[in-house]
Amino acid sequence: MIKKLIIIAATVFALPALAQIAVIVHPSNSANLTNEELVRIYTGRSNAFNAVNLAETVPLRAQFDEKGVGRTSAQLKAHWSKLVFTGKGTPPTELASEQEVLNFVASNPQAIGYISAASVSDAVKVALTIN
């Protein structure tokens, strides 16, 4: 019985890790992003877009940080703290939910954000998919 519960729990917690992440832009934006450009945007080395992040409490945020930017959330937080302290950058605005990110990107032609691929609508364009 305990063995079954452990297997069920492991399966339930592993499912969110399998979600594809869609990097989204306004539909009028013709950008096709590379992983390298995405890293530059989310580390403050490119200001080609008005980037938004999910709040730290949203599980997809940690997945994006690791799979999309290649750093842990703690590493990115330290990176942005250094840039803010030295006056060399401002981190992406944090939004509370995927729906808020979707709405923001859909209403701002210079915006970029990310949501789970299952949450994508016709209001935005997928510029990059992260597995």
What would the mean pLDDT of 12-27 be, rounded to a whole number?
Answer: 75
Outline where 1-131 has alpha helix (H). Answer: 2-14, 35-42, 59-64, 73-85, 98-106
| Residue 32: predicted pLDDT | 76
Give Cβ neighbours of residue 129 (< 8 Å, ≥ 6 apart). 20, 21, 22, 23, 117
| Residue 30: predicted pLDDT | 86
Residues 96-124: tens digit of each pLDDT: 999 999 999 999 999 999 999 999 999 99
The domains of the chain, with CATH numbers, are 19-130 (3.40.190.10)
Residues 57-100: tens digit of each pLDDT: 999 999 999 999 999 999 999 999 999 999 999 999 999 999 99
Q: What pTM value is reported for the model?
A: 0.85
Residue 52 DSSP SS3? strand
